């Protein structure tokens, strides 16, 4: 794997391009060409899109600029790996062949000289998320996906957009955020015990790098408020802000 490694998550590209959205995209496209200039590797750790459901013949035009920039980076020799999130789980041939080098629906673990990485989106991990875990199993099933594909794309995307909007995280209290971190720490400790050195995840929209029991738990933040990214040069992992 070509170093350095770059990690981003929770960009939540919208289906309607407002001023904020086009500002965000400008930065994202700059970031992607930076990865290409550095000849590194890019991990997109879920929720790149606010909604993505891939039909057999149809792709949404709203994301054309970002899709083009990812494709261009790949033509320039950059590997781009995608770990789908809860908003963009439904990929097919187009994303698998044209946009990304590889898609890992359940996350991926890899070994670098300085340690073992586990990279996951992170949804469904919280100990109190029972209902969501069942819901997640259903919407990820091949039956659900097959049925959803028979909905006309205009309607399928309208529903997806509506659900993405209503499911949008309200501003969390600090107490809630701390509870999330405590819970994720418990999850991480177990993985570190099993030999992982780094756990990299998105989903929680917090920018956090925590050292626990010799391991490092990273939450990548997002591109809605933070524009944060992870960077690994082969020795050190750092969290940074794209400006």
Point out which residues bind Mn ion (CB under 5 A): 47, 85-86, 203
Cα 28 from Cα 43, distance rounded (Å): 13
Least CB distance from residue 62 to Mn ion, whole Å? 19
Least CB distance from residue 29 to Mn ion, whole Å? 22
Tokens 């990214």, residue? 229
Give 35 or 125: the residue with its C-beta nearer to Mn ion: 125
- Cβ atoms 5, 81 nearer than 8 A: no
Least CB distance from residue 9 to Mn ion, whole Å? 8
Q: How many CB atoms lie within 10 A of CB 123?
A: 21
- Residues in the chain, overall count: 243
Least CB distance from residue 73 to Mn ion, whole Å? 23
Give 86 or 164: the residue with its C-beta nearer to Mn ion: 86
Q: In what order do the strands lie in the sheet with 207-212?
A: 108-112, 115-120, 198-201, 215-220, 207-212
- Cβ atoms 119, 201 nearer than 8 A: yes
Cα 178 from Cα 189, distance rounded (Å): 16
Least CB distance from residue 47 to Mn ion, whole Å? 4
- Cβ atoms 136, 129 nearer than 8 A: no
Residue 44 exposed, middle or buried by CB count within 10 Å (0-12, 13-18, 19+): buried
Least CB distance from residue 203 to Mn ion, whole Å? 4
């Amino acid at each position: 794997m070509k170093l350095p490694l770059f990690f981003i998550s929770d960009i939540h590209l919208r289906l309607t391009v407002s001023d904020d959205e086009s500002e965000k995209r400008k930065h994202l496209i700059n970031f992607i060409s930076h990865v290409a200039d550095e000849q590194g590797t890019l991990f997109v750790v879920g929720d790149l899109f606010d909604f993505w459901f891939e039909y057999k013949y149809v792709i949404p035009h709203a994301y054309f600029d970002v899709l083009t920039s990812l494709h261009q980076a790949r033509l320039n020799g950059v590997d781009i790996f995608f770990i789908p999130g809860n908003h963009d789980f439904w990929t097919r041939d187009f994303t698998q062949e044209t946009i990304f080098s590889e898609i890992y629906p359940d996350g991926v673990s890899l070994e670098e000289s300085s340690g073992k990485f586990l990279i996951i989106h992170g949804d469904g991990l919280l100990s109190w998320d029972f209902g969501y875990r069942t819901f997640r199993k259903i919407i990820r099933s091949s039956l659900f996906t097959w049925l959803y594909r028979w909905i006309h794309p205009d309607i399928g995307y309208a529903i997806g957009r509506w659900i993405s909007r209503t499911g949008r995280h309200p501003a969390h209290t600090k107490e809630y955020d701390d509870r999330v971190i405590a819970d994720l720490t418990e999850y991480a400790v177990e993985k570190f015990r099993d030999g992982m050195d780094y756990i990299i995840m998105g989903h929680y929209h917090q920018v956090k790098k925590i050292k626990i029991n010799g391991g490092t738990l990273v939450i990548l933040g997002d591109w809605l408020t933070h524009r944060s990214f992870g960077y690994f040069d082969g020795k050190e992992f750092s969290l940074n802000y794209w400006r």
